[in-house]
Amino acid sequence: MSLHYGTIEGGTKSQQIRFLKLPNDIHNQYYRYACLWEPNRIQFYFNGYLIGQIRLNHYLASYLNADMYVVLNQSFHNEFLQYLPANMPVYSMEVDYIRVYALKP
């Protein structure tokens, strides 16, 4: 789970990362991932369970008033690449659906 913010042009591009240990059979079935974005925090859910959150301080919140986008990928953080086997099979990612809701003001 990660939150990317800032700009390359302004030299402020950065990210907040929360690591998640996934089940060993992650590739055998669909799972539900969710994110609840509130004014003071962003909470992350896995199959309905809260698994982490990022508290938004004044600095972070100043970047999150811009348009935001959902990005789905199956990337690895650089520090874990060394642990991948040389003969690791190629995986694909199948997405059943994506829903985006807005909270009532």
Predicted confidence at residue 37, as pLDDT, reads 86
Residue closest to 1 by CA, chosen among 36, 24, 41, 35: 35
Instruction: Quote the domain boundaries for residue 71.
Output: 2-19+31-83
Does residue 25 sit within a domain? no
Q: Which pLDDT belongs to residue 2?
A: 76
Q: Mean pLDDT by 10-residue block, N- to C-terminus, for the chain (105 residues)?
A: 78 76 77 87 89 85 78 75 81 85 80
Size of the chain in residues: 105
Q: Specify the DSSP element, H or E, that contains 17.
A: strand 14-17
Q: Alpha-carbon distance 63 to 3, whole Å?
A: 11
Please report whether residue 94 resides in a domain: no
Q: Where are the beta strands (DSSP E) in 39-82?
A: 41-46, 49-55
Give the per-residue pLDDT at 50.
92
Total domains, the chain:
1
